Amino acid sequence: MKLILLLTAALATAALQAPTQTTPAAATPRVVADQIPTKNGPLTVQPITHGSVVLTWNGKTIYVDPYGGAQAYAGLAAPDLVLITDIHGDHLDPKTLAGLSLGKALLVVPQAVAEQLPPAYKGHIRSLRNGQQFDTLGLHVSAIPMYNLPEAADARHPKGRGNGYVLNLGGKNVYLSGDTEDIAEMRALKNIDVAFVCMNLPYTMDVQQAAQAVLAFKPGIVYPYHYRGQNGLSDVDGFKKTVNAANQKIDVRLRNWYPSGQ
């Protein structure tokens, strides 16, 4: 009995002296992903933050403007395709890219972005100019203009430097606006099934500009994203009301792109 008591006391002392185990840091909280049917299975739409979204389709994973730290992508599949729209830090984020597993990824970027990427990525880059397009991974990628109005050489987003993108996958056309205003090229888009449209001042559009552009090209589904500006978050509820007052068929999906209050 004495031996048992001594062993019990020793174990209790060891437990008290043992270092406390810490729980690994939790991944950045994310809103629940949406699923949109296509001819080749569902398109999963996972908002990340600001102008970044992860699309999963037909066994392939697409990261758009990865930004905000690699922890924001914890638990998601490594990308097969990375789309980057422009050179600014909320689109081209070298620190986030460095923390991601990009070994199998093709990086589709404007030339201005290609010139700023580290040499380690050079073998993974496909550079596109506005109007260029190509096929990869069973989908079709088109580079679309994105720029500020009025056009000016010293604009924050001059015409020709950055790319919006249209992806055709499984019979669906997905438009990613990048940083733009309600330019003629956006208004002229046809047969867009899903659109991601920016609205943050003073860099892109205000809510009314974005609403009028969407009413012009009539996407089936629209996600307002990239809606944090100098004066906080844009009025996405007002955007939805304006769009649906004029066209109730457009499915305006409001999601929280700033779950951590970034």
Report which residue type is found at 228.
Answer: R
Closest CA to 137 of 55, 76, 219: 55
Q: Which helix (H) or strand (E) element contains residue 42? A: none
- Lowest pLDDT segment from 38-47, 68-77, 143-152, 239-248: 143-152
Residue 110 DSSP class: -
**In the structure encoding, which two tokens stand for residue 58, read together?**
């037909």
Return the pLDDT at 231. 85
Angle between helix axes 236-246 and 207-217 (nearest 10 degrees) is: 40
Q: How many Å apart are CA 40 and CA 114, to the nearest integer? A: 31
User: pLDDT by residue (tens digit) across 79-122?
Assistant: 999 999 999 989 999 999 999 999 999 999 999 999 999 999 98
User: pLDDT by residue (tens digit) across 8-30?
Assistant: 444 333 333 333 332 334 456 78
Reply yes or no on whether the pLDDT at 255 is more than 80. yes
Report which residue type is found at 241.
Answer: K
> Please, are residues 146 and 86 in contact by the beta-carbon 8 Å criterion?
yes
User: pLDDT by residue (tens digit) across 154-205?
Assistant: 778 999 999 999 999 999 999 999 999 999 999 999 999 999 999 998 889 9
Mean of all residue pLDDT scores within the chain: 89
pTM of the model: 0.88
* DSSP letters spanning the chain: -HHHHHHHHHHHHHHHHSPPPPPPPPPPP-PPPEEE--BTBPEEEEEEETTEEEEEETTEEEEES--S-GGGGTTSPPPSEEE---SSTTTS-HHHHHTS--TT-EEEE-HHHHTTS-GGGGGGEEE--TT-EEEETTEEEEEEEE--SS--TTSSS-TTTEEEEEEEETTEEEEE--S--S-HHHHT--S-SEEEEE--TTTS--HHHHHHHHHHH--SEEEEE--EETTEE--HHHHHHHHHHH-TTSEE----S-TT--
Query: pLDDT band at residue 34, thresholds of 50, 70 and 90?
Result: very high
> Please, are residues 85 and 67 in contact by the beta-carbon 8 Å criterion?
no
Report which residue type is found at 117.
Answer: L
Reply yes or no on whether the pLDDT at 248 is more than 80. yes
> Please, are residues 214 and 36 in contact by the beta-carbon 8 Å criterion?
no
Return the pLDDT at 225. 97
Please report the domains of the chain, with CATH numbers, ordered by start residue.
Answer: 32-252 (3.60.15.10)
User: pLDDT by residue (tens digit) across 51-88?
Assistant: 999 999 999 999 999 999 999 999 999 999 999 999 99
Return the pLDDT at 262. 53
**In the structure encoding, which two tokens stand for residue 218, read together?**
């009539």
